[in-house]
Amino acid sequence: MHVVQISFFVDPKRRSPETLLDEWRSLSEIAGAVATTGARVTVIQASMVPGHIQQSGVAFHFIAPNRAGARLTGSAALHSLIRDLAPDVFHVHGLGFPREVRALRDLAPNVPTLLQDHADRVPNFWRRRVWRRGTAAASGISFCSRAQAEPFLKAGLLAPDTPIFEIPEGTSMFAPGDKAEARSLTGMYGSPAVLWVAHLDANKDPLTVLNAVSEAARDLPELQLWCCYASAPLLSAVQSRIASDARLRDRVHLLGRVPHGQIEQLMRAADFFVLGSHREGGNFSLTEALATGLTPIVTDIPSSRTLMGNGTVGALWPCEDWRALANELRTASVARRADMRSHVRAYFETQLSSAAIGQKFTAAYNRLIESQAPASAAAS
Same domain, 206 and 159: no
C-alpha dist (Å) from residue 225 to 195, 251, 255: 6, 6, 10
Same domain, 136 and 246: no
CA 288 distance to own-chain centroid: 10
Same domain, 347 and 361: no
pLDDT the model gives residue 85: 94
User: What are 114's strand-pairing partners?
Assistant: 91, 140
Say which CATH number the domain at 336 has. 3.40.50.2000
**Count of structural domains, the chain:** 2
List own/partner pairs for 198-201 with CB under 8 A and 24 or more apart: 198/228, 198/229, 198/275, 198/277, 198/285, 199/229, 199/230, 199/231, 199/232, 199/233, 200/227, 200/229, 200/231, 200/232, 200/233, 200/234, 200/235, 200/238, 201/231, 201/232, 201/233, 201/234
Same domain, 223 and 341: yes
- Per-residue pLDDT of 60-88, as tens digits, reads 999 988 765 567 877 788 889 999 999 99
Phi, then psi, of 88 in degrees rounded to 5: -90, -25
- Per-residue pLDDT of 246-271, as tens digits, reads 999 999 999 999 999 899 999 999 99
Distance between CA atoms of 156 and 82, rounded to whole angstroms? Answer: 31
Residue 320, classified by CB atoms within 10 Å of its CB into exposed (0-12), middle (13-18) or buried (19+), is: middle
Burial code (b: 16+ CB inside 10 Å, e: under 16) for 134-165 equals: bbebbbbbbbbbeebbeebeeeebbeeebbbb
CB neighbour list of residue 106: distance below 8 Å, 6 or more residues apart:
none
- Per-residue pLDDT of 336-359, as tens digits, reads 777 889 999 999 999 999 999 999
Distance between CA atoms of 39 and 358, rounded to whole angstroms? Answer: 9
**Which pTM does this prediction carry?**
0.90
pLDDT the model gives residue 375: 53
Same domain, 306 and 344: yes
Same domain, 14 and 161: yes
Any idea what the Cα angle at residue 21 is, between residues 18 and 26, rounded to 5°?
180
Residue 121, classified by CB atoms within 10 Å of its CB into exposed (0-12), middle (13-18) or buried (19+), is: exposed
Same domain, 324 and 368: no
Same domain, 118 and 32: yes
User: Which among 296, 304, 297 is positioned nearest to 279, based on CA atoms?
Assistant: 304
Same domain, 162 and 237: no
Distance between CA atoms of 323 and 327, rounded to whole angstroms? Answer: 6
- Per-residue pLDDT of 198-242, as tens digits, reads 999 999 999 999 999 999 999 999 999 999 999 999 999 999 999
Pairing mode, strands 140-143 and 164-166 = parallel
Same domain, 27 and 163: yes
Q: 364: pLDDT confidence band, cut at 50, 70 and 90?
A: very high
- Per-residue pLDDT of 76-119, as tens digits, reads 888 899 999 999 999 999 999 999 999 999 999 999 999 999 98
Same domain, 11 and 125: yes
DSSP labels, 87-145 = -SEEEEE-S--HHHHHHHHHHSTTS-EEEE-SS--PPPGGGHHHHHHHHHT-SEEEESS
Distance between CA atoms of 212 and 4, rounded to whole angstroms? Answer: 46
Same domain, 326 and 373: no
Phi, then psi, of 344 in degrees rounded to 5: -65, -45
Residue 283 amino acid letter: N
- For 267, the domain range is 179-352
DSSP labels, 74-88 = G-HHHHHHHHHH--S
Percentage of residues in the chain having pLDDT higher than 70: 97
